[in-house]
Structure 1
């Protein structure tokens, strides 16, 4: 009697990690996903926007100071002739006839002296005209026809009090604000989490000594600390997020320490200790991952706080300096010009508030996804 056996190959199925579950819960949160899209769009605009903009962020247009936001190109039709006559007057010439043919304007001009061909420079210096030339000179060179092309420019966000394009400056400001906010937060989170987890886990005299260091640093005025850094190292963009991050980690250290004191009494931590896992391994594998919920929530609050701190330092002359700018600086300028130029406040405020709302929704989604009680 023969027995037939079949070799059944069993393919082990790959288990799902806690990070896989957290990712799925995060993607199921529509508000968090929408906020990530909004934040990604703002980030892309801040990085790529200035490269695609036809205006430099520090380019000054003297003829377009505080012009309103518009989808229509400037100059407007009613602005062309008065501007043309004003340029002719600045060139000390007399206009005898004006004509506009499409995008080209021309006029018969005269002077008591011979007309200098360099008079076209007055038109080229204007933001409204370009490619000016003198033609049809009279025999005595005291009369001629001047032609110039209308120089159309778009200011979709309007211009500021110095005649600079608000759209480009808003994008550039996004680079500065997001960079300072994210990098300073990363510095604060990295230092605070490691310091707080180590202090809480080791406990005893080590914990007491480490917390006394935090108390001493709390007693130092933040502005005094930043002023000292500026005096010793000078104004530096990188110095901004280092100074802010080097102070804001104190709150994070206290939060993580409190969480660690509770976590280290859990059974899985005691089991790891019984198995001989090192203190560093326990902190890295068990303590820090289980404090991510409060850390993420605090991070979403710290980023806007850092952005506002940067604005305050820039207002004192210790932060971002002209012609560079940030959302906080633009909002401050817009508030001063609110009565006559509301667009200077509206557009930077939209970008800043959208970023803050997006960060808050992302933080809520990450907190729910990483909460151990929901696993």
Structure 2
């Protein structure tokens, strides 16, 4: 009796703190290792796109004529066995005859003669090259036909090699990640805002309004996209940001149809009818009940739309309507690598790996978000 009385007299335990639907989704997302790894990879891509071009050892637009299509290597260029032939070739262009060439570390000493008096400005031939810098005359003969030149050998590292124009491929990939992510984010964001609002409104109102709104979508579907892209260039010019905002304003059509179908299946659910019975406005029902319950399919479509826009940009750039030099994107780099695949396979390999990793990360993250936000699994 004493134990029973003691148990009865104890205060009830405090109830467990409730979780919001977003907190529950976040907890479930954290359990998905593939999704979290993909999220880390996407954050690395975003960081590389924002800060990478500023931290890269070379400017993405700088051309090195002496290092065209050099293979990827961790060792600096030029190779030591290539410095002496390059010095002889530069001396011949300056109309000098090289007598003796010595290389001490990164310092080059060259004895040269000429049939006539040597102009002191001959050092400019060496400084114009990517291999030599700070060239100056150390000694000069009395008649001025013999000089001793000293120059510093410039060493460059191209860890991903260079392209067909002699530009650092690593820096080009970093700037292409920035452009591709910016294009994908802008176009997808515009498609998300317009498509979700349009599709949810059409599906919830139904009837003649739904029919009229979807006929507008059908008419826009009939427009040839290539012709529309040419019109965009005519009206907006070659402005990448404005152009792909406009592209996103076309890509919302699929998003609107997906959201409309989900809305039609949700508008007669019990929680929607309960909200209507309580006097909640149509806009409130869309914001609080319809749109949140369509997030799963919407996010999955977003993960497919971003690579679709990236590939679309590559097609437009191939036609000369997209990204213009010296800017580039992953699609443009892959196109250039395909043209030089036999002579320089690394030009295709590294951009392809960068794009493939990005697409895998988007797909795995989309699957994880779908599982976390699916209302049927809560």
User: Which category of TM-score, normalised to the shorter sequence, fits these structures?
Assistant: over 0.9
**Pick from 15, 30, 44: which aligns with 2:33?**
30
Q: How far, CA to CA, are the matches of 1:246 and 1:225 in structure 2?
A: 11
Gaps of 5+ in 2: 1-8
Please state if 1:89 is matched with 2:92. Answer: yes
Q: 2:262 corresponds to which residue? A: 259
Q: Is the 8 A contact 1:70 1:155 kept in 2?
A: yes
2:131 paired residue among 128, 132, 136 = 128
Cα distance in 2 for residues equivalent to 1:10 and 1:183: 50
1:70 is the counterpart of 2:73: yes
The alignment status of 1:300 with 2:303, answered yes or no, reads yes
Q: How many residues align?
A: 370
Instruction: Report how far residue 10 of structure 1 moved.
Output: 9.4
CA distance in 1, matches of 2:241, 2:62: 25
Kept after mapping to 1: 8 A contact 2:48/2:178: no
Q: Distance in 2 between matches of 1:49 and 1:239?
A: 24
Q: Hey, what's the Cα distance between the residues in 1 that align with 2:117 and 2:16? A: 93
The whole-number CA distance in structure 2 between the counterparts of 1:52 and 1:305 is 29
Alignment of 1:219 onto 2:222: yes
* Residues 1:46 and 2:46 aligned together: no
Once the two structures are TM-superposed, the CA of residue 216 in structure 1 deviates from its matched residue by 0.6
SS in 1 for 2:140: coil
Stretches of structure 1 lacking an aligned partner (at least 5 in a row) = 1-5
Question: 1:329 maps to what in 2?
Answer: 332
Alpha-carbon distance between aligned partners in 2 of 1:15 and 1:241, rounded to the nearest angstrom = 42
The Cα shift of 1:230 comes to: 1.1
1:3 is aligned to: none
Counterpart residue number, 1:203: 206
CA contact (8 A) 2:71 2:162 kept: yes
Q: Select between 43-52 and 199-208 the one with higher mean Cα deviation.
A: 43-52
The correspondence of residues 1-375 of structure 1 with structure 2, limited to 5 A, is: 14-375=17-378
Q: CA deviation at 1:308?
A: 0.1
Q: Secondary structure at the match of 2:83?
A: helix
Contact kept in structure 2, 1:105 and 1:150, CA below 8 Å: yes
TM-score by length of 2: 0.95
CA distance in 2, matches of 1:327, 1:160: 14
State the secondary structure of the residue aligned to 1:288. Answer: helix
Q: What is the RMSD of the two structures over their aligned residues, measured on CA atoms?
A: 1.5
CA distance in 2, matches of 1:194, 1:354: 32
Name segments (4+ residues, structure 1) moved above 4 Å: 8-13
Cα offset for 1:9? 12
* SS, match of residue 66 in structure 2: coil
Distance across 1 between alignment mates of 2:24 and 2:13: 25
* Residues 193, 288 of structure 1: 8 Å contact kept: yes
Following TM superposition, by how much is the alpha carbon of 1:78 offset from its aligned partner in structure 2, in angstroms?
A: 1.0
TM-score normalised per structure 1: 0.96
How far 1:14 moved relative to its partner?
3.8
Q: CA deviation at 1:243?
A: 2.2
- TM-superposed deviation, 1:227: 1.1
Q: CA deviation at 1:54?
A: 2.1
> SS state of the match for residue 98, structure 1?
strand
